[in-house]
Amino acid sequence: MKRVCDWCGIGIVTTRADARFCSSKHRIYAHRAAKRSPIPQRLTSRDRWVRWRYELRNGKPTKAPITADGRRATSTNPDTWTTFAAASASTLGEGLGFTLGDGIGCIDVDHCVSDGVIDPRALELARTPNAFYVEYSPSGEGIHIWHDADEQPGTRRTENGLSVERYSAGRYITVTGRPIGL
Ligand SMILES: [Zn+2]
C-alpha cells in the first residue's frame, strides 16, 4: 500500500509503519485543522472521510462520494476513505463526507429549515439522547443529527410530518462543519 502524507498527499519515505505525515510541520498543520474545526473528534479521529461532488444520475444531480484525490469512492470500500486531515486538505468537489458505521449513525432531516428557523419537530429529534453533533446540510434547508448507533438497516419515512432518513451503515453523509447549537 502506497503511504502518503495525510496533509499534502506526497509520498512518504519512512521506516515507521504508522507514519502519517511527511514532516512534523504537516503533522502540526493537520492537528490544528482538526482543532479549529467544529466537527467533533468522534468523527475527525476516524479514517472514514471522503469528499463529494455533484453528478447527474438519471438527469438529476446527486451527491456522489469521491476520494481526496478525485477518484470515485464508495461507502463500502474503506480503501476509498481517508483521514479527516487528508479530506480537509483536498479542495476537490464540493466538500467533506463521512462514511457511516463503526458505531456512528446519522439522521437526515430534509426541508426542516425555513428562513433560518429550524422546525421544532426537527429540534426534538436532534435532542435524541445519543446525539453528539448536529449541523446544517449543504443546502442549509436540512439538518444532520450525528449520533452513536449500532449498525442496522436504514429507514426512510415520514415521521411526525417530517421527511426523516436514518442510517448507520453502508452510506456516506455530507459534513458541512456548520453546527447547530441546541
Ligand atoms: Zn506533507
CA of 30 to the centre of ligand 1 (A): 9
Q: What is the pLDDT of residue 79?
A: 96
Tell whether 5 is covered by a domain: no
CA of 157 to the centre of ligand 1 (A): 44
Q: Is residue 108 located within the same domain as residue 154?
A: yes
Q: pTM of the prediction?
A: 0.88
Tell whether 18 is covered by a domain: no
Tell whether 51 is covered by a domain: yes
Q: Is residue 112 located within the same domain as residue 84?
A: no
Tell whether 141 is covered by a domain: yes
Q: Is residue 71 located within the same domain as residue 120?
A: no
pLDDT bracket for residue 2 (50, 70, 90): low
Rounded CA separation 55/94 (Å) = 11
pLDDT bracket for residue 19 (50, 70, 90): confident
Tell whether 20 is covered by a domain: no
Q: Is residue 115 located within the same domain as residue 170?
A: yes
CA of 138 to the centre of ligand 1 (A): 29
Tell whether 68 is covered by a domain: yes
pLDDT of 3 > 70? The answer is: yes
Q: Is residue 88 located within the same domain as residue 117?
A: no
Task: Give the whole-number percent of the chain exceeding pLDDT 70.
Answer: 99
Q: Is residue 159 located within the same domain as residue 108?
A: yes
Rounded CA separation 50/46 (Å) = 11
pLDDT of 95 > 80? The answer is: yes
CA of 49 to the centre of ligand 1 (A): 18
Angle at 181 between CA 156 and CA 103, to 5 degrees: 50
CA of 8 to the centre of ligand 1 (A): 4
pLDDT of 17 > 70? The answer is: yes
**Side-chain half-sphere CA neighbours of 5 within 13 A:** 19
Report the domain count for the chain.
2
Tell whether 72 is covered by a domain: yes
Domain that holds residue 166: 104-175
Taking a C-beta distance cutoff of 8 angstroms, is the pair 127, 171 a contact? no
pLDDT of 160 > 70? The answer is: yes
CA of 89 to the centre of ligand 1 (A): 10
Helix (H) or strand (E) holding 177: none
CA of 100 to the centre of ligand 1 (A): 27
- Domain boundary (99, 115, 131) is at 99
pLDDT of 117 > 70? The answer is: yes
